[in-house]
Structure 1
Amino acid sequence: MSRWLLALHSSSETLGLAVCDAENPAGGTRILSRSMGRQLTNGLISAVEELLPRAEWASIGRLAVSTGPGGFTGTRLTVVMARTLAQQLGCPLHGESSFALMAPRLSVALSASQALEPFSIVQILPRRGRVAGRYRLLSGSIPVEELERPHLLSEDEDPSPALSMELDVASDVLHLLQRCCHWEQEAAPGPWELVLPIYPTSPVGPV
């Protein structure tokens, strides 16, 4: 009987899901990447069922979810689903920011000297300012360390070097699954209570 590792990512209009057998992660990884938009509210569960039939959910042994930043509703939906599954199944859950997931991919744009130092990933939000996280490249099975989780920058903050946020949900959810495999190999604890969505700005504006 398979023991499944499941990764979920919905910090944008695109839903990303990835699953593999914990005993054979390289032998049967399955990925779903689909533009959902507002259909995510009603289509999330059926999309997960498409990748991993509901009859197999009891065999989920570990979960990982992107915690944002991103769309308020999309990020919340997958985080809530992952938390609920982890609580009901009694399995570990890990959260990773969407910026941390893209950091290894975007870091190829850094110069050799810049790659030795911390760098930022920045997203410009229309009428809401700029959101940035700070990262450092590592060697080994964990490619990046999140030094500062994504947060709203003040007007006078100008992090450098800085890379622009760039979506590639299929690549990033696969990276999230690979992180999940690493945590599985390390038998890392993953308390679901600690996994919460990142909301750098308020959905109703300044409060």
Structure 2
Amino acid sequence: GLSNSLIERVASLVPHGRWREFKGLAVATGPGGFTGTRLSVVMARTLAQQLGCPLLGVSSFALMAQRLATDEQPFWITQPLLRRGVVAGQYRVRDAVVEELQAPRLLEADQQVSPAVEAEVDVDVDVAALLGRLQRSLQRDESLPWQPVLPIYPTSPVGPV
């Protein structure tokens, strides 16, 4: 899978001598597939640390919120998980600014949230939104340290501990 070829794929896109040209990096922190999310975030953190460049981490749901919002009222984005329940995060979009009111988390078995829309992945649109956020953050000279950027794990891959 992708985990076995990630470094080679990235290296094929960015020639060796061009790494230092990066002004910043951005990564979607999940929720998403466990392995893909973990690898993406770890690689982004490592590159940002080694290159000494800013790193913006944004939840996948926060990226979706802009296009899923129907008005300026708070709403939930939900994602059913096979055999695990439902992950949900709460958002509000005002004047084209996404506010994460509650980070994505696993809901209790009997918990209902409303109003809610189901997560809809649109990779092209979400990546463009992520890069737009990075560009605006860099233009405002925001501090974007790599250390606080961590993957969102709404469920444990090893079960209850």
> TM-score scaled by structure 2?
0.94
Amino acid paired to 2:15: P
Q: Does 1:169 align with 2:123?
A: yes
Q: Does 1:116 align with 2:72?
A: yes
Paired position in structure 2 for 1:152: 106
CA shift, 1:173, in A, is 0.9
Deviations 1:60-108 (A, max 9, x none): 111111100111111111111111111111111111000111111222x
Whole-Å separation in 2 of the counterparts to 1:165 and 1:66: 14
Paired position in structure 2 for 1:46: 8
Amino acid paired to 1:71: G
Paired position in structure 2 for 1:15: none
Counterpart pick for 1:137 among 89, 93, 101 = 93
Instruction: Map residues 177-196 of structure 1 onto 2, 5 A cutoff.
Output: 177-196=131-150
SS of residue matched to 1:120: strand
Q: Which runs of 5+ in 1 are unaligned?
A: 1-38
Whole-Å separation in 2 of the counterparts to 1:91 and 1:134: 30
Amino acid paired to 1:105: R
Percent identity over the alignment is 59
- Alignment RMSD: 1.3
Paired position in structure 1 for 2:155: 201
Paired position in structure 1 for 2:57: 95
> TM-score scaled by structure 1?
0.74
Runs of 4+ in 1 over 4 A off after TM superposition: none
Whole-Å separation in 2 of the counterparts to 1:123 and 1:54: 38
Q: How many residues align?
A: 161
Whole-Å separation in 2 of the counterparts to 1:168 and 1:78: 17
Whole-Å separation in 1 of the counterparts to 2:104 and 2:9: 28
Paired position in structure 2 for 1:31: none
Amino acid paired to 1:123: Q
SS of residue matched to 1:151: strand
Paired position in structure 2 for 1:17: none
Whole-Å separation in 2 of the counterparts to 1:91 and 1:116: 34
